[in-house]
Copies of this chain bind each other. A is one copy, B any other.
Amino acid sequence: MYVRNAWYVASWTQDLEAGKPFAIDILGEPIVIWRNEQGVLTALEDRCIHRLAPLSLGRCEGDKIRCMYHGFLYERDGRVAEIPGQDKVPETARIKSYPVVDRHSWIWVWMGAPELADETLIPPAVGFDNPDYILGRGQLDYDAEARLINDNLCDFSHLTFVHAESFGPGEQFAISTPTVAPLDRGVRFSRWIEASPGRKRAAGNGAPSDTWRTYDYLIPGVLVMTGGDYPVGYAKARDYAPPHIDDAIGGVTFTSQAVTPMTEKISRYFFSWGPHVRHGDEKVRDLLMNLAAKAFAEDKTMIEAQQKIIDKTDAPRVLPSAHDRGVTMFNRLVERLAKEEQQRDASAA
């Protein structure tokens, strides 16, 4: 169960070459995306109406794309512009087109009703066009349903166990819980860790500090997270309110992560991470990316193994724990929004 009226990440901006079609399945639907020489983006159903060949094996011709099986030519709105050997094109010759936006270095596709596409709902990720951060990036394909990755990202207590050898936050971390608060389109997690020891692996001078961590997990499955180190006593002095970023004495980074359900059991995971320009450089970024590469491989091993066990289980059930508050909150939000969509669709029909 997924929300359709939402922006799904399809690709990195920089991976989309002008005039070259790009193929991805989202929610089980084959989609072709291309940018023409003028930079105009188009996303269409990746399926020629003639005999169902993929347009992503086709040829971009200016604003249009041509199926390279028998030459059907498509407009940006999905209408067939030309059928070789035929004077007339039937009115019904049309495939689905998707709203598509390039923002924050990601290509976002709206999977719901096109008339409801609302760019203000694009999650506030930080892209390579943001001069405040020095980012690295990566992506992983999972043999697992996207929901399992969402669950993972809504409960960081797994850091103590899955990432004992990478992030390694220690045993204490797993028995403390963040503040969890609902958002219109997501869940906000935040916590102060007072007088925490200098972090072992990331940036920081090694002296204790009050450490702030906050992230939003947003529909359909996008994480935006920041945080930093502040003088000891700072958190209490602010009565544990979120800090001013300018007060940070180190360790400010930003990570954007997106989980895209490609099919029922295949997902693509996009991520970027890096330090604020005042708190790190390319060397810090590379250090963080090496750490992320190790940690996200640990997640993939665990989640794909979890998927295999689920597949072997008749009527799988879970036993949520105290740490699952955020997981449950996010899943209920997804369910509610998905149900509302279905009711709207039903009453419209």
CB A4 to nearest CB in B, in angstroms, measures 16
CB A303 to nearest CB in B, in angstroms, measures 8
Chain B CB within 8 A of A83 CB:
yes
Contact of B305 with A54 in the complex, beta carbons under 8 Å: yes
Contact of B321 with A161 in the complex, beta carbons under 8 Å: no
Give the contact stretch, choosing among A45-53, A286-294, A336-344: A45-53
Number of interface residues of A (CB under 8 A): 55
CB A173 to nearest CB in B, in angstroms, measures 9
Chain B residues with Cβ below 8 Å from A84 are 157, 160, 174-175, 321, 323
Contact of B53 with A309 in the complex, beta carbons under 8 Å: yes
Chain B residues with Cβ below 8 Å from A302 are 53, 57, 68-69
Contact of B316 with A52 in the complex, beta carbons under 8 Å: yes
Task: Pick from B52, B174, B175: contact of A309, CB below 8 A.
Answer: B52
Give the contact stretch, choosing among A10-18, A85-93, A131-139, A189-197: A85-93
Compute how far the CA of A175 lies from the CA of B54 in the bound complex, rounded to whole angstroms: 22
A70 touching B323 in the complex, CB below 8 Å, given contacts A57-B301, A84-B174, A312-B25: yes
Chain B residues with Cβ below 8 Å from A301 are 57
Chain B CB within 8 A of A6 CB:
no
CB under 8 Å from chain B, chain A span 153-186: 155, 157-158, 160-162, 164, 174-177
CB under 8 Å from chain B, chain A span 66-83: 66-72, 83
CB A349 to nearest CB in B, in angstroms, measures 17
Chain B residue nearest in CB terms to A86: B322
CB A119 to nearest CB in B, in angstroms, measures 28
Chain B residues with Cβ below 8 Å from A54 are 305-306, 308-309
Tell me what chain A mostly uses at the interface: helix, strand, loop, or mixed: loop
CB A307 to nearest CB in B, in angstroms, measures 9
Task: Pick from B28, B50, B175, B308: contact of A321, CB below 8 A.
Answer: B50
Compute how far the CA of A27 lies from the CA of B305 in the bound complex, rounded to whole angstroms: 19
Chain B residue nearest in CB terms to A318: B51
A28 touching B312 in the complex, CB below 8 Å, given contacts A68-B302, A302-B68: yes
Chain B residue nearest in CB terms to A53: B306
Compute how far the CA of A309 lies from the CA of B320 in the bound complex, rounded to whole angstroms: 38
A52 touching B313 in the complex, CB below 8 Å, given contacts A68-B302, A161-B71: yes
Chain B residues with Cβ below 8 Å from A90 are 319
23 A-B pairs (CB sep. < 8 Å): A28-B312, A30-B309, A47-B309, A49-B318, A50-B320, A50-B321, A52-B309, A52-B316, A52-B318, A53-B305, A57-B302, A66-B161, A67-B161, A68-B161, A68-B162, A69-B302, A70-B158, A70-B323, A71-B161, A72-B321, A84-B175, A84-B321, A90-B319
